[in-house]
């Protein structure tokens, strides 16, 4: 009864994943979710979405929704538009160099890449896990992992409370992790901030870099933003690949042709990454159906705004959340065909072996406009390197549970990728229930 009235249908956190383009197919390119306190206008029209992202001062980022990211200090995601520019400029400096330089538990892999590039700390896969077991939360890896697993807690509980004598042991551990992570924060952003400050001072003596708290806030944000996004994309990709041996063959065929038996230390951006189109197609296709952020809210603030949609202009009142429905537009049959809901990486490679460029406004997992994701290239290089390493000589197979038939196994895996946990980003709720076996593929 409640569901037929749509009271619960669009109220749960997973409704974007459950509905995909369905709500827009039923109600049109725009439809509003109206509650007594707020209006959320969902938009799945490609041109309108591009327009919203371009008009960044009219459709602003509602920073009040991101305050949970202020654990160590304000940062690029939580400051207003005017301050955002200096935060963004400073955090972008290391990215511009890092993306092209570098380059199982998918969280470990992506965290190790972040540690190696951002903090010049190199871990072997087994070492980072071992540091967790032996050093409690003193290592960079273990400290950050503890913070990420408890981000909601960090939002609700004051840091100082964690060290009180009567605080539960877990609180103490989280507080210790926060202190240790702060100690581990290295100097790359600090240096960038100083350089930026000097550069600006030659133009205007009043300009300043970021405060120490803001630097810490940004380093924490980059770790949060850069970690589970790539890790979850890898996890969704591996589970989908496990269900599709044919796609694994297609993938490794290209990896073998590009890198052959060359040791991975010799792979580089120009001669390797640029030619590994199929691993990138795996990433693009996974992000099309499983984007870490399924919808990207913007806000009209104290002004009404007009928006051009399908040959007419609509007027959106002030104080309305305007939400480009990223997943809806990425799974809409009008733009992706009748097989829009099928996970099909080959759709990204055209007949001339070129990488397909989708129609503008129909594919935005890294968002769009000035405030888009600065880690886009970084995540691509990481993903491609990891997938190429995994699937060059190996294949992955899902393992049946006791007494489970192949059909039941398939149905269970499909269900697992469609059920999400209640975190900030899209993440499988029950990933641990999927058991995978990796085998050496001797034909290669
Ligand atoms: C699969 C990988 C990734 C996806 C899909 C992704 C997606 C996104 C999206 C949708 C946003 C919001 C943009 C907006 O507000 O319009 C964002 C912001 C951001 N991402 Fe990523 N991201 C990924 C990987 C990374 C990585 C690896 C890093 C860093 C190492 C990173 C750093 C950031 C930062 C710092 C922001 C805030 C930018 C700003 O507010 O100006 N991301 N990302």
The pLDDT tens digits of the residues spanning 179-190 come to 776 666 644 555
- Greater pLDDT, 377 or 208: 377
Task: State the greatest distance between any 2 C-alpha atoms of the chain, in Å, as a whole number.
Answer: 73
The residue whose CB lies within 8 Å of the most ligand 1 atoms, and thus the one to mutate among 54, 62, 89, 229, is: 229
428 lines ligand 1 (CB under 6 A): no
Query: What's the pLDDT score for residue 346?
Result: 98
Mean pLDDT calculated for residue range 242-271: 92
| Interval between CA 227 and ligand 1 midpoint (Å) | 10
Q: Which two tokens stand for residue 324?
A: 């480009």
Report whether 400 belongs to an annotated binding site.
no
| Nearest residue (CA) to ligand 1, atom 13 | 372
Query: What's the pLDDT score for residue 100?
Result: 46
- Greater pLDDT, 111 or 34: 34
209 lines ligand 1 (CB under 6 A): no
pLDDT tens digit sequence for 360-405: 999 999 999 999 999 999 899 999 999 999 999 999 999 999 999 9
Separation of alpha carbons 19 and 327, rounded Å: 9
Task: Tell me the chain's radius of gyration from C-alpha atoms.
Answer: 23
Confidence check: pLDDT of 200 > 90? no
Query: What's the pLDDT score for residue 154?
Result: 64
How many CA within 13 A on the CB side of residue 110?
26
Separation of alpha carbons 78 and 66, rounded Å: 6
> For residue 66, how many other CB atoms are within 10 A of its CB?
17
Separation of alpha carbons 139 and 125, rounded Å: 14
- Greater pLDDT, 122 or 368: 368
Query: What's the pLDDT score for residue 19?
Result: 92
Query: What's the pLDDT score for residue 444?
Result: 46
Query: What's the pLDDT score for residue 175?
Result: 77
Ordered DSSP codes for 159-225: GGGGGSTTS-HHHHHHHHHHHHHHHH--SHHHHHHHHHHHHHHTT-TT-----HHHHHHHHHHHHHH
Query: What's the pLDDT score for residue 142?
Result: 73
Mean pLDDT calculated for residue range 145-168: 67
Separation of alpha carbons 414 and 152, rounded Å: 28
Q: Measured from the CA of 53, which atom of ligand 1 is nearest? A: 16
| Interval between CA 281 and ligand 1 midpoint (Å) | 19
- Greater pLDDT, 111 or 95: 95
Query: What's the pLDDT score for residue 203?
Result: 43
> For residue 139, how many other CB atoms are within 10 A of its CB?
23
293 lines ligand 1 (CB under 6 A): yes
Query: What's the pLDDT score for residue 59?
Result: 96
Query: What's the pLDDT score for residue 151?
Result: 65
pTM: 0.84
Confidence check: pLDDT of 302 > 90? yes
Q: What fold characterizes domain 15-120+186-440?
A: Cytochrome p450 (1.10.630)
366 lines ligand 1 (CB under 6 A): yes
User: Worst-scoring range by mean pLDDT, 139-148, 215-224, 400-409, 410-419?
Assistant: 139-148
How many CA within 13 A on the CB side of residue 19?
26
């Amino acid at each position: 009864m409640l569901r037929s009235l749509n009271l619960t249908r669009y109220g749960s956190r997973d409704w974007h994943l459950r509905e995909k383009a369905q709500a827009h197919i039923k109600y049109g390119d725009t439809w509003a979710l109206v509650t007594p306190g707020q209006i959320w206008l969902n938009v799945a029209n490609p041109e309108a979405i591009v327009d919203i992202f371009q008009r960044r001062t009219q459709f602003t980022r509602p920073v009040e929704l991101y305050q949970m990211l202020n654990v160590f200090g304000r940062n690029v995601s939580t400051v207003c538009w005017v301050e955002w520019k200096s935060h963004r400029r400073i955090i972008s400096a290391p990215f511009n160099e890092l993306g092209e330089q570098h380059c199982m538990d998918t969280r470990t892999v992506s965290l190790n890449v972040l540690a190696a590039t951002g903090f010049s700390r190199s871990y072997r896969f087994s070492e980072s896990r071992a540091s967790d077991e032996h050093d409690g939360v003193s290592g960079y890896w273990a400290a950050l992992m503890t913070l990420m697993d408890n981000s909601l807690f960090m939002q609700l509980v004051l840091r100082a409370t964690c060290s009180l004598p009567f605080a539960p042991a877990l609180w103490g551990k989280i507080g210790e992790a926060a202190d240790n992570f702060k100690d581990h924060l290295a100097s790359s952003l600090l240096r960038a901030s100083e350089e930026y400050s000097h550069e600006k001072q030659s133009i205007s003596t009043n300009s300043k870099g970021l405060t120490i708290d803001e630097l810490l806030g940004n380093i924490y944000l980059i770790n949060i933003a850069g970690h589970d996004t790539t890790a979850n994309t890898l996890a969704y990709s591996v589970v989908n690949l496990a269900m599709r041996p044919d796609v694994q063959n297609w993938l490794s065929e290209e990896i073998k042709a590009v890198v052959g038996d060359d040791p991975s230390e010799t792979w580089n951006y120009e001669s390797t990454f640029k030619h590994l189109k199929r691993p990138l197609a795996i990433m693009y296709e996974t992000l099309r159906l499983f984007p870490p952020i399924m919808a990207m809210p913007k806000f009209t603030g104290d002004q009404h705004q007009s928006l051009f949609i399908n040959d007419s202009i609509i007027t959106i009142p002030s104080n309305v959340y305007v939400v480009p429905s990223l997943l809806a537009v990425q799974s809409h049959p009008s733009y992706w065909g009748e097989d829009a809901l099928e996970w099909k990486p080959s759709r990204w490679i055209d007949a001339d072996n070129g990488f397909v460029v989708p129609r503008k406004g129909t594919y935005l997992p890294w968002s769009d406009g000035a405030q888009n994701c600065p880690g886009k290239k970084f995540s691509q290089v990481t993903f491609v390197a990891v997938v190429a390493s995994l699937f060059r000589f190996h294949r992955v197979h899902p393992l049946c549970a006791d007494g489970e038939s192949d059909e039941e196994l398939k149905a269970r895996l499909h269900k697992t990728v469609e059920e999400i946990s209640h975190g900030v980003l899209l993440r499988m709720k029950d990933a641990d229930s999927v058991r995978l076996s990796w085998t050496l593929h001797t034909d290669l």
